[in-house]
Amino acid sequence: MKAEDAAKKVLDTMLGHLGFAASVDLEHDDEGPCLQITTAQPELLIGEDGDRLDDLQYLVNRLIRKHYEDAPRVKVDCGHFRSMHEEKLKEEVRGIAEKVKSSQKPFHMRPLNAYYRRLVYQAVLDDPQIEVHSPDGAARLKRITLSLKAN
């Protein structure tokens, strides 16, 4: 069994044990495999700003990595919430990068988890004028800073 199929089975089992009547479809996007959940009550699985999806995604990936060391990172989404939220964040980051360039002042973002910090890095990866700093430490949520690159 492939890691992606195992991830789908794990998520489907978790949702069943939690009492959700849901279906899970394996999709692929630019970043890799995505488990798309369809249910009559998506708000219960999404949570506030996707926090429950984050938790499900974390658990699925941890469980899969125990059995498949080279397993790709699997994204968990429900009703395409995460896809829309990620696109909104990337647009926000690009706008912030433009403000940093025009004001020449760094911008401190709201605290983000590792998954969303990675998206911020990717959103400005091709911008030669902007760099992203993340504080050291083991905190789950970190406030990252966008600033101009030093010459």
Confidence (pLDDT) at 140: 82
Confidence (pLDDT) at 105: 94
Give yes or no for a contact between 149 and 128, defined as CB atoms under 8 angstroms apart. Answer: yes
pLDDT in tens, 26-77: 998 777 899 999 999 899 999 888 889 989 999 999 999 999 989 999 999 9
Give the three-state DSSP class for 131.
strand
Q: Does the pLDDT of residue 137 top 70, yes or no?
A: yes
For residue 48, the Cα-to-chain-centroid distance in whole angstroms is 14
pTM above 0.85, yes or no: no
User: Which comes out higher in pLDDT, residue 95 or 29?
Assistant: 95
For the chain, give every domain's residue range: 3-79, 85-148
For residue 100, the Cα-to-chain-centroid distance in whole angstroms is 24
Best CA proximity match to 35, nearest among 80, 69, 87, 84: 80
Which residue reads 């990068």 in tokens? 97
Give the three-state DSSP class for 4.
helix
Q: Does the pLDDT of residue 151 top 70, yes or no?
A: no
d(CA 15, CA 13): 5
Please state which CATH number belongs to domain 3-79: 3.30.300.20
Asked if the domains 3-79 and 85-148 are classified in one and the same CATH topology, the answer is: no
d(CA 71, CA 119): 20
Select from 3.10.20.600, 3.30.1370.50, 3.50.50.100, 3.40.640.10 the CATH code of 85-148. 3.30.1370.50
Q: Does the pLDDT of residue 144 top 90, yes or no?
A: yes
The fraction of the chain above a pLDDT of 90, given in percent, is: 63
